[in-house]
Structure 1
């Protein structure tokens, strides 16, 4: 139920209904079933947030919808623009909670980084979001709305439609599995936004059971794993939850993923000074990469507040990673952060605004 100005609104959120349920509603109300098709198109293909804007419906039909339903769309409460063109949105949800999403433009593409949870279920020590407790999972429509908002901003500020989506914002997507997959369904469906699943990447910190479920569900989007160390003792120190989801199980799940999907995995990897910058760390990563076809993104570290526990490794250490990975035939890219001046870079999303 939605609280508005001290009152409780018991109207149902219309976007929880399937197309068949919308058709059934109209039949029960004495209308033709195809009205449900029309409303479904307004909600998911046209991203309409007002019943009054559904112009091919009669006034009485719009009033019927208004009587029974609400559209709990998100609102961009605050927008910040970086010197490099990156945009960060503070997105207010219908219950007053806030998440952040990011638009990352380049010359050839525009990428939306979207959140899947308010806060996070995990406890990675180097991530600002992990310092927030997980308050709740986002609904499919709340994830969808982030994409719609960023697409509008991309067209407005870059004169380009949104081309790619990464589930790399706040939260662990695989801990909100059903809602995340439903949001991707609506983003990729011809009855939704119609984006190609090949342009969507889900990034996980590594939940083996759920990675196997992705494979079993025959998803068509891309998978990235925040690895950061291929040595269990090191990874457990910086990502304590991995004591339950160890590297051996993660490796097994990724082999299963590749066997089922034939899609290579991207490993996201930050090199920190004094943590994972030794030869032993490089050797472990090379060995881990042997399991399946993959590529490695070496990511620049983005400090969070005054925490000095993690420091970006030297250029020499990063170059050493690159050289040895390439010598073993492993594709590797060094990624430089965007939006650091507005705390929009990887690991920095924490609702500071």
Structure 2
């Protein structure tokens, strides 16, 4: 029995070469490539302008490891959460977040997560595997279709803030973004894509060296090393001095402002000392700060800070000419808000 390869794992050139090697014309590869990416074909039978004989040949040699939206939940605020079943039965989640002016896809990059952030439901799942480029692309395509269906407009933005650490699946994330931004794919501008990382200095520098065009967000949560390590234990291996150096390197090459994602928790990072440390860290590289409403995943140590603490952050950041906004969570009633993705449907 032939071990069939996922056809979306090969390039257009390789696809053209396959057809030539099998006695067909190279342009047939272009046709099939368009079906796979621009039209999002789920099966070879969908390829209606390709002959039955050619479809049979493709079926004999390849598979399309397409995702399936197992369940879709709609929040009272219009947020949509998809439980996405992969070809091997594993499940990830992705979210459509609508506002008056935009619709944003929040997509996953790993099944589970490589890291151990204590406040995040996903981190309680072991990392089972990285997602393939096609599986990442499919999440975006599904949400684009839902955006058109429910909001009468195509998807406008993408954030890699779902399950997993994108920079621990770097090659596949980059390949997926290349497809998403290609005119042969979804044709989205890379400026409308944000990759959020928990802060891996070596990979941030690699992104700069690779001349990526998307935006960078960093899940920061504290400008004090020992506090950050309490929140995100893995960060002991990546001290703030190293993170700072990598971000300065990023800005020097990419000339792109950084977004810091920052949750304020009562009794953890809600002191004046914590505020001052963030202000200091923000002065190293041009940036803006999103103060994110926390969504408790249990009754443990991580609980939403008081309004007074949030207001202190806003006041001090603004006083120091640092753009800061409070981001209210969407989709809390369906566990689709920040930190809540945990594939409960699996």
Scaled to the shorter chain, the TM-score interval is over 0.9
Q: Partners in 1 of 2:203 and 2:182 — Cα distance?
A: 23
SS of corresponding position for 1:344? coil
Of 116, 119, 123, the match for 1:123: 116
Q: Which runs of 5+ in 1 are unaligned?
A: 1-7
Q: Partners in 1 of 2:281 and 2:53 — Cα distance?
A: 62
Q: Does 1:301 align with 2:306?
A: no
Give CA deviations for 1:83-124 in whole Å, capped at 9, x if unaligned.
101010000000000000000011110000000000000000
Counterpart position of 1:313:
305
SS of corresponding position for 1:334? strand
TM-superposed CA distance for 1:311, in Å, is 1.1
Counterpart position of 2:25:
32
Counterpart position of 2:80:
87
SS of corresponding position for 1:112? strand
TM-superposed CA distance for 1:10, in Å, is 2.2
Q: Does 1:144 align with 2:137?
A: yes
Counterpart position of 1:99:
92
**Superposition TM-score, scaled by structure 2 size:** 0.98
Of 276, 297, 318, the match for 1:326: 318
Counterpart position of 1:5:
none
Q: Partners in 1 of 2:120 and 2:2 — Cα distance?
A: 37
Q: Partners in 1 of 2:246 and 2:5 — Cα distance?
A: 39
* RMSD, matched Cα: 0.9
Alignment of 1:255-266 (within 5 A): 255-266=248-259
| Contact 2:2–2:61 (CA under 8 A) maintained in structure 1 | no
Q: Does 1:351 align with 2:343?
A: yes
Of 193, 206, 223, the match for 1:213: 206
Q: Partners in 1 of 2:280 and 2:203 — Cα distance?
A: 23
**Superposition TM-score, scaled by structure 1 size:** 0.97
TM-superposed CA distance for 1:9, in Å, is 7.0
Give CA deviations for 1:309-341 in whole Å, capped at 9, x if unaligned.
111111011001001100000000000000001
Q: Partners in 2 of 1:292 and 1:245 — Cα distance?
A: 18
Give CA deviations for 1:2-52 in whole Å, capped at 9, x if unaligned.
xxxxxx872211111101100110011000111111111111111111211
Q: Does 1:250 align with 2:243?
A: yes
